[in-house]
Amino acid sequence: MSTIDRDISGVTRDRGEGNLERIRIQSDLASAEIYLHGAHVTHFQPRDSAHPVLWMSKSSVFKSDKPIRGGIPICFPWFGPKADDPKAPAHGFARTRDWTLESVQHGESGAILIAFNIKSDEATKRLWDADFAAHYLVSVGSELSVHLSVQNLGLNLIRFEEALHSYFVVGNAQQTEVRGLDGASYLDRLRPAATFKQDDQPIRFAAETDRTYINTDAMTTIIDPVLDRRITNRKVNSNSTVVWNPWIAKAKAMADFGDDEWPGMVCIETANAGPNAVELPAGQQHSMSAVISVENG
């Protein structure tokens, strides 16, 4: 295990599951882990929190050509299946690329900032014809903040979708509520070709749930009476929020998701997807962030 920078104590670079490269943070404020594969945050736990915030499947695969199941996969440049190519990898290629570690620095209020990037190349252009650079900044403090920015380096306008696909630990999904999306419109992958409206009640989980709330930048709060905590997700420049729990049959159908794990997680994803896809003119940059915090008791 080697220290990344003598000045940044508590940050180490090692090889984790599947021998993939990983950054580990053990600070006074929190512990965290990030794989360079996908720039994938797989762990975050503030010091005063009794449980991890991010959920990881025990069945996750850690291989260079497969996405990690849990944590925060980065979905880019499309969300779900690619509209014009159903054979292209689901949720884009960012989550299966090895990102370059750019820097590790001290941030404000004791946070540690870890920056990663990827750039378009022949392989990305075979899947998506665009010249781009993407930067990802992870700030590990008493809160976790993740910031994805995309630069259009080409001569034409580019159109893309993006999601910070956060998996959260909950005591029991069936007793969990998600607040903040009252009145928002949503698309439902289980009932396509229609738009629905969330009523004034919190979202509760009683079956497979796979919704993309659109035209909303609202903060969401996960109310977890079992672990006796609230997790909030604040968003910047994100107009979609995806809410997902696979429930029984879909969990069984996924090879990298344990059959009995679905009650322990919910996904609340900071996104720009579907009608909120980003159109970025040549030479411009677009950024989207999520700030995740926990309140116990």
**By CB under 6 A, what part of segment 229-258 binds ligand BG6?**
242, 244
Least distance (Å) between residue 6 CB and ligand BG6: 38
Using the minimum distance from each CB to ligand BG6, give the nearer residue, 46 or 70.
70
Dihedrals phi, psi of 124, to nearest 5 degrees: -70, -35
Using the minimum distance from each CB to ligand BG6, give the nearer residue, 43 or 165.
165
Using the minimum distance from each CB to ligand BG6, give the nearer residue, 13 or 66.
66
The sheet that has 229-236: what strands, in order across it?
100-106, 112-119, 132-140, 144-152, 285-296, 229-236, 220-224, 177-179, 203-204
Least distance (Å) between residue 8 CB and ligand BG6: 32
Using the minimum distance from each CB to ligand BG6, give the nearer residue, 51 or 66.
66
Least distance (Å) between residue 74 CB and ligand BG6: 12
In whole angstroms, give the CA distance from residue 115 to residue 143: 16
| Residues 6 or more apart in contact with residue 269 via CB below 8 angstroms | 75, 163, 164, 165, 166, 241, 242, 243, 244
Using the minimum distance from each CB to ligand BG6, give the nearer residue, 10 or 274.
274
Query: From the list 37, 43, 91, 135, which residue makes contact with ligand BG6 (rule: CB under 6 A)?
Result: 91
Least distance (Å) between residue 239 CB and ligand BG6: 16
The residue nearest ligand BG6 at its CB is 90
Least distance (Å) between residue 120 CB and ligand BG6: 22
Instruction: Residue 238: name the closest of 267, 218, 221, 222 by CA.
Output: 218
Using the minimum distance from each CB to ligand BG6, give the nearer residue, 159 or 189.
189
**By CB under 6 A, what part of segment 1-60 binds ligand BG6?**
none
If one asks whether residue 90 binds ligand BG6 (CB under 6 A), the answer comes out as yes
Give the gyration radius of the chain's Cα atoms: 18
| Residues 6 or more apart in contact with residue 284 via CB below 8 angstroms | 151, 152
| Residues 6 or more apart in contact with residue 230 via CB below 8 angstroms | 221, 222, 223, 224, 294, 295
**By CB under 6 A, what part of segment 179-218 binds ligand BG6?**
189, 210
Chain residues binding ligand BG6 by CB under 6 A are 67, 80, 90-91, 165, 189, 210, 242, 244, 269
